[in-house]
Copies of this chain bind each other. A is one copy, B any other.
């Protein structure tokens, strides 16, 4: 497998590991999201170069409606956190 394929599998594995703890195994409940963030990236959240963006992201996770995060939404969160972590400029679109 290529580096990208390995990382994709690891990402999916992480999602599934937390998504199967309660309810629908194809989505993360709000409590599953919180557990995932606490366990998988505590230092990343604390050490981010742009703490304001992280705060906004966490706040945005306090969603309502069906209250679940599917894999695509999870990947969007991961992408945003990676940008914060590395200080990569984010798109202004």
Contact = CB atoms under 8 A, between A and B. Distances in A.
B8 A85 contact: yes
A43 B90 CA distance: 30
Nearest to A70: B91
Contacts of A14: 3-4, 7
A10 B10 CA distance: 10
**Contact residues of A: prevailing secondary structure:** helix
B78 A75 contact: yes
Contacts of A43: 5
A81 B43 CA distance: 28
Interface in A40-93: 40-41, 43-44, 70-76, 78-83, 85-86, 88-91
